[in-house]
Amino acid sequence: MYVTLREVLAEANALNMAVGAFNTHNLEMLPAIIRAAVAQKTPVIIQTSEGTASYVGHRNLVAVAKSMADEFGVDVVLHLDHAKNFDEIRKALDAGYSSVMYDGSSLPFKENILGTKRVVEYASKTNASVEGELGTVGGTEDGIAVAQADVHYTEPEQAVEFIEKTGIDALAVAIGTNHGQYKSKTNISFEQLEKIRDAVNGFPLVIHGGTGVKEEDVRRVIDLGIRKFNVGTELLVNWNITSKDAYNEHKENTSNRNNVVPALEVVQSIVEHKIQLFKNIG
Ligand code: 13P
C-alpha cells in the first residue's frame, strides 16, 4: 500500500527494527529500491530532494511509487527530504507525496517549532506525515567529515518540547552523523542518543547520514530507538562507479539499458543488504 511514516514506523517500533529510507536521484532508481524491499518483505521509504522532485516531476514519482506499491503488495512511503521552503513542501503534498521533512534545524528553536507546525497543519489536509529535525547533522567535503564548530547535538528536553508542540510523526536527531560521508566512518554519540530515547518515550527517531554509519553500529542505534534510517550517498556513488564502467565498456550505439541496468543491480543489492541490517535480527 501507499502509506505514510506513521504506519511503517509503528510497525518498526513494534518489531524493534528500522525502516530504510533511500534517496533516489532519478526515476530509474526508484523501482530498484522498491524491488529490494519486496525481496526483503519489508516496507520502504523512498526519499527525494526538492531538486529530484522537480527534475523527475512530482506526479511521476507519486504515480510510480503508488503503482509499484499496488502491484507488489509492499508498503511504500514517498517522502520529501530536507525541505526548507514551504512552497516546495506544498507542491509535493499537493502532488500526492505521502510524507515530507521540514528542516528548520538551522533556525532558532522557536522558529523551528513555528515552521514545522505550519507544515504539520498543511500535511494533515492529505493525511501525510511530517518529519522534523533538531540539532545539526554534520557535513562533508569530498566524502570526508569536516569538523564544524556549529554542529550541535539534539538536546533531549528540547526534543520532548518540540514533539509536543509541533505534532510531528518522526524526529531527525543530531548525534554525530554527517551527510555524504562515504570515505570515512562516523563516531556516533550513543550516550546522547540514549538520553534522547529516554526522554522521548518511544517516539520514532531518524538517523541521517546513514552512509557514514559503521555496520557494527547499526544494531546499537536501532536498539536505542532509531526507526528510520536514511541512506543516500552510498547508492549514488555506486551507481556512478558502475555506470561509468558500463559506459566505457559498451559501444556508443548499444542500448542505453546496458549501461543503466548494471547500476540498478548494484543499487538493489546495496539496498537489500541495508534492509537486512535494519531488520535487526539475531
Ligand atoms: P547519506 O547521503 O550520507 O547516506 O545521508 C542520507 C540522508 O541523511 C538524507 O537525508
Separation CA 32–CA 257 (nearest Å)? 14
Give the residue numbers annotated as catalytic, written as ranges.
81
pLDDT at 178 over 80: yes
Mean pLDDT for 98-106 is 97
* Cell numbers placing 39: 525481496
Specify the CATH number for the domain of residue 80: 3.20.20.70
pLDDT of residue 26: 97
Which of 180, 185, 175 is CA-nearest to residue 226? 175
Mean pLDDT for 258-271 is 98
Mean pLDDT for 213-242 is 98
- Matching residue, cell 538536546: 155
pLDDT of residue 282: 79
- Overall pTM > 0.85: yes
pLDDT of residue 185: 96
Residues with CB under 6 A from ligand 1: 23, 81-82, 179-181, 208-212, 230-234
Q: How many domains does the chain have?
A: 1
pLDDT at 82 over 90: yes
Give the model's confidence band at 148: pLDDT under 50 very low, under 70 low, under 90 confident, else very high.
Answer: confident
pLDDT at 264 over 90: yes
Report the nearest-CA residue for atom 5 of ligand 1.
Answer: 209
What range defines the domain where residue 247 resides? 5-278
Residue 185, exposed/middle/buried by CB under 10 A (0-12, 13-18, 19+)?
middle
Dist. CA 251 → ligand 1 center (Å) = 34
Report the nearest-CA residue for atom 8 of ligand 1.
Answer: 208
Query: Of ligand 1's atoms, which has the minimum distance to the CA of residue 207?
Result: 8
Give the model's confidence band at 146: pLDDT under 50 very low, under 70 low, under 90 confident, else very high.
Answer: confident
